[in-house]
């Protein structure tokens, strides 16, 4: 069977996977069977997609099935771009399914998760394989609805219900925008297959770009369309959160790339002027919002917003270079974006797995109620630390490589003849550097408050290590983060066919460079060797340990820790998540989040500590969504009386509507003639 056939056959198999739960004698067996079947199917599709990506190069396989719309059917295609995203989807899905085999034992309502989880996986695979507008939109909506059902799995929680409502509203808005974009691409001929769209030129390609930014950007989490993401991701079960954050947002990125780079024709120079600043704002606002959080899963969700901004910076640069006939620079920028797509899917899944393991063991995701978990969950702490280092873009892990390549693309922007881009890109580069520094600070807080220090609550004191399936998924993701970080040239060469098919060029082959280094442009400009950095760090650590053991005393000495004047060893004297972020909040929070602090001082002679209350607001919600919500409520109240009309009033209303429509139709015909 061809890789395309294997991928398509997996769809009905995934949809049949919940039947395994129906035949199980109890929920624990149903969980193992369903997630085990999903893991096996996704692994098979992963292997098939990787074989096509590596072996088929720029060739594409197509298939037309007589389903869907009459006389049109459903078209499916597997090329370099779709094969790469199929690898991303199924690698993340296989890891999440392996994690869920153990984590699912702790799920409160498995009956509300197991039927929709395989459907969610099938929907994401269908979006990537679709080769016509109708199949793409149906698959997109199927993905949205199944993920919405997973978000509201714990529907008794009012916060989860609110998260589900906002998510489905934003998803519907995004689908409408994509529908309009495809309508413009199809044009008057009505050719809804992607092959026909490639052969025609859209009447308004700039409007198509804006509609795709709205449609795909709302699903990916671009500011200001990100408001659903920090609500929905924490509400879902942790393995679903890993899929939504690490995989589903990448399917949205795929939709943007497929339409803008493949179907919408040659880019105009001003497209990048729209995408690049929006991406820079997304970076900074995402990481600043994450720093303000003390809910571990909500913090990770906001960091997804930041990393989506990094990806779109690369995509915006690729548009700018392509518009100015700089294919080599466009290949570098697009490679950086696609590599960060892959890297983010790895380390964000790993971090959500770690957060899920902590949640399953302690029933807490508030960092203020954790602490000291490194002593009780050492393996989880090690893998979570690996994810923190990777997402902070520190060598030798994979997050550094893709962000470094993005900076290399930024350094090529002075060669662009457009002065607008010459002035814009350095500013966005500074925003990217700021977001990288703030991300490192944020994950020092996340790891330190959660895993270090003393346990703040009884739940943290009694925590136990995660199960073997969850640990296997976490260690597998951590190993891939290290592998891609020390061998980035292999990943760059694997991405080359997809990049070349979109911008007509590729980065220089990295496999021929000695010592496994990578050279984005030329050795005279820059190069990086992840393996050398890894060896240096490892050897330095071993030498330091040897020196300590050789020259340090073998006597064990214990003494009280310095406690800043507090004699009682209480967890209350430790740093909290809010206190750690206080300096940054005082610098940025008053401007960006309208943060206000109130300190309640105890009476003189009272030894109780002072209490600080912090209030902050979401400027995007207040400026955009709150007025829309208020106007919608007012309009609904005003139009509510229409539900209580008499039959005569209803008939009169229908008659008036017909007269108005006929009048509008006559005006249109007069203008047309």
Predicted local confidence at residue 46, as pLDDT: 95
Q: What total of structural domains would you count in the chain?
A: 3
Report which of 302, 596, 570, 277 is spatially closest to residue 443, judged by C-alpha positions: 302
Class of residue 456 by CB neighbours under 10 A (exposed 0-12, middle 13-18, buried 19+): buried
Decide: 136 and 193 in contact? Cβ < 8 Å: no
Report helix, strand or coil for 220: helix
Is residue 646 located within the same domain as residue 532? no
- Residue pLDDT, tens place only, 114-128: 889 999 999 999 999
Report which of 98, 116, 88, 87 is spatially closest to residue 40, judged by C-alpha positions: 98
366 secondary structure, DSSP code: B
Is residue 658 located within the same domain as residue 582? no
Residues in Cβ contact with 55 at an 8 Å cutoff, skipping those fewer than 6 apart: none
Q: Residue 515: left (phi > 0), alpha (psi -120 to 50), or beta?
A: left
Predicted local confidence at residue 587, as pLDDT: 79
641 secondary structure, DSSP code: G
Do the domain assignments include residue 191? no
Decide: 313 and 413 in contact? Cβ < 8 Å: no
603 secondary structure, DSSP code: P
526 secondary structure, DSSP code: -
User: Domain ends where: 566, 599, 615?
Assistant: 615
Decide: 244 and 232 in contact? Cβ < 8 Å: yes
Is residue 401 located within the same domain as residue 496? yes
Do the domain assignments include residue 76? no
Is residue 601 located within the same domain as residue 649? no
User: Average pLDDT for residues 514-523, to the nearest whole number?
Assistant: 82
Predicted local confidence at residue 594, as pLDDT: 74
Residues in Cβ contact with 108 at an 8 Å cutoff, skipping those fewer than 6 apart: 154
Do the domain assignments include residue 656? yes
The structure tokens listed for 648 are 């005569």
Q: Could you tell me the pLDDT band of residue 57, with boundaries at 50, 70 and 90?
A: low
Is residue 330 located within the same domain as residue 429? yes
User: Average pLDDT for residues 96-113, to the nearest whole number?
Assistant: 86
Is residue 514 located within the same domain as residue 599? no
Report which of 246, 225, 11, 259 is spatially closest to residue 136, judged by C-alpha positions: 259
Give me the helices (H) in 23-65, please: 27-55
Is residue 508 located within the same domain as residue 430? yes
User: Average pLDDT for residues 261-275, to the nearest whole number?
Assistant: 90
Predicted local confidence at residue 561, as pLDDT: 65
Do the domain assignments include residue 145? no
Is residue 531 located within the same domain as residue 623? no
User: Domain ends where: 548, 567, 588?
Assistant: 548
Is residue 604 located within the same domain as residue 501? no
User: Average pLDDT for residues 297-323, to the nearest whole number?
Assistant: 94
The structure tokens listed for 27 are 């929920």
- Residue pLDDT, tens place only, 565-610: 555 667 777 777 777 778 888 777 777 777 777 777 777 777 676 7
Is residue 383 located within the same domain as residue 519? yes
Predicted local confidence at residue 359, as pLDDT: 92
Provide the residue range defining the domain that includes 636. 619-672
Question: Can you give 110-151 as a three-state secondary structure string?
Answer: HHHCCCCHHHHHHHHHHHHHECEHHHHHHHHHHHHHHHHHHH
Do the domain assignments include residue 241? no
Is residue 610 located within the same domain as residue 647? no
Report which of 224, 232, 229, 30 is spatially closest to residue 112, judged by C-alpha positions: 30
* pTM confidence score: 0.91
Do the domain assignments include residue 474? yes
Among 47-56, 339-348, 644-653, which range has the highest average pLDDT?
A: 339-348
Do the domain assignments include residue 555? no
Predicted local confidence at residue 383, as pLDDT: 95
Identify any residues that bridge with 518 across adjacent strands, giving them in sequence order: 528
The structure tokens listed for 340 are 């960060």
The structure tokens listed for 187 are 């044009």
The mean pLDDT value of the chain amounts to 88
Q: How far is CA 402 from the centre of its chain?
A: 15
Do the domain assignments include residue 79? no
Decide: 193 and 255 in contact? Cβ < 8 Å: no
The CA-atom distances, in angstroms, between 441 and each of 153, 474, 568, 579, 672 are: 33, 23, 28, 13, 61
Q: Could you tell me the pLDDT band of residue 20, with boundaries at 50, 70 and 90?
A: confident
Decide: 375 and 330 in contact? Cβ < 8 Å: no
Which residues of 593-633 form beta strands (DSSP E)?
A: 596-600, 611-615
Is residue 499 located within the same domain as residue 586? no
- State how far the Cα of 246 lies from the Cα of 39, in Å rounded to an integer: 16
């Amino acid at each position: 069977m061809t890789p395309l056939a294997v991928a398509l056959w997996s769809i009905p198999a995934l949809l049949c996977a919940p039947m395994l739960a129906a035949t199980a004698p109890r929920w624990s067996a149903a969980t193992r069977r369903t997630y085990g079947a999903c893991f096996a199917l996704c692994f098979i599709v992963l292997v098939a997609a990787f074989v096509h990506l590596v072996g088929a190069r720029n060739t594409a396989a197509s298939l037309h099935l007589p389903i869907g719309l009459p006389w049109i059917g459903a078209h499916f295609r597997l090329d370099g771009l779709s094969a790469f995203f199929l690898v991303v989807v199924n690698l993340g899905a296989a890891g999440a399914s392996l994690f869920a085999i153990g984590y699912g034992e702790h799920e409160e309502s498995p009956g509300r998760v197991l039927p929709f989880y395989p459907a969610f996986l099938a929907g994401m695979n269908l979006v990537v394989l679709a080769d016509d507008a109708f199949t793409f939109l149906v698959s997109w909506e199927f993905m949205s609805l199944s993920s919405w059902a997973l978000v509201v799995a714990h529907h008794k929680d009012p916060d989860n219900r609110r998260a589900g409502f906002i998510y489905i509203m934003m998803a519907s808005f995004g689908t409408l925008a994509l529908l309009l974009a495809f309508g413009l691409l199809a044009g008057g001929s009505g050719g809804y297959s992607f092959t026909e769209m490639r052969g025609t030129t859209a009447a308004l390609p700039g409007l198509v770009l804006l509609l795709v930014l709205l449609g795909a950007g709302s699903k990916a989490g671009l500011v200001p369309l990100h408001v659903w993401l920090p609500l929905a991701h924490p509400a879902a079960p942790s393995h679903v959160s890993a899929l939504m954050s690490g995989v589903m947002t990448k399917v949205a990125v795929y939709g943007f790339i497929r339409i803008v780079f493949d179907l919408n024709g040659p880019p105009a120079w001003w497209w990048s002027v729209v995408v690049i600043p929006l991406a820079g704002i997304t970076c900074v606002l995402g990481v600043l919002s994450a720093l303000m959080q003390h809910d571990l899963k909500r913090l990770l969700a906001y960091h997804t917003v930041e990393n989506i901004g990094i990806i779109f910076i690369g995509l915006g640069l690729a548009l700018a270079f392509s518009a100015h006939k700089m294919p080599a620079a466009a290949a570098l920028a697009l490679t950086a974006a696609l590599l960060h797509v892959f890297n983010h899917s790895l380390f964000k899944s790993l971090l959500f797995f770690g957060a899920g393991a902590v949640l399953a063991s302690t029933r807490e995701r508030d960092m203020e109620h954790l602490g000291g978990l490194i002593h009780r969950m050492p393996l989880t702490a090690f893998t979570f630390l690996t994810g923190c280092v990777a997402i902070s873009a520190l060598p030798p892990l994979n997050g550094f490589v893709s962000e470094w390549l993005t900076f290399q693309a930024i350094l090529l922007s002075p060669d662009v003849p457009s002065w607008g881009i010459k002035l814009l890109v350095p500013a966005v580069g500074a925003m990217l550097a700021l977001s990288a520094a703030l991300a490192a600070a944020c994950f020092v807080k996340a790891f330190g408050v959660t895993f270090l220090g003393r346990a703040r609550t009884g739940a943290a004191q009694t925590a136990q290590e995660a199960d073997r399936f969850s640990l296997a998924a976490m260690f597998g993701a951590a190993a891939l983060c290290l592998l891609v970080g020390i061998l980035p040239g292999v990943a760059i060469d694997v991405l080359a066919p997809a990049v070349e098919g979109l911008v007509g060029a590729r980065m220089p082959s990295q496999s021929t460079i000695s010592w496994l280094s990578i050279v984005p442009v030329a050795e005279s400009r820059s190069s990086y060797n992840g393996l050398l950095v890894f060896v240096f760090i490892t050897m330095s650590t071993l030498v330091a340990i040897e020196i300590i053991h050789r020259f340090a005393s073998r006597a064990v000495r214990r003494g009280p820790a310095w406690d800043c004047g507090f004699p009682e060893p209480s967890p209350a004297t430790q740093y909290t998540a809010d206190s750690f972020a206080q300096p940054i909040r005082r610098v940025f929070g008053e401007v960006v989040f309208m943060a206000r602090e109130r300190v309640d001082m105890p009476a003189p002679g009272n030894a109780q500590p002072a209490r600080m209350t912090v209030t902050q607001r979401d400027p995007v919600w207040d400026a955009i969504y709150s007025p829309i919500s208020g106007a919608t409520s007012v309009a609904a109240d005003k139009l509510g009386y229409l539900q209580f009309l008499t039959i005569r009033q209803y008939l009169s209303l229908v008659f008036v509507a017909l007269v108005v429509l006929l009048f509008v139709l006559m005006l249109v015909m007069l203008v047309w003639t």
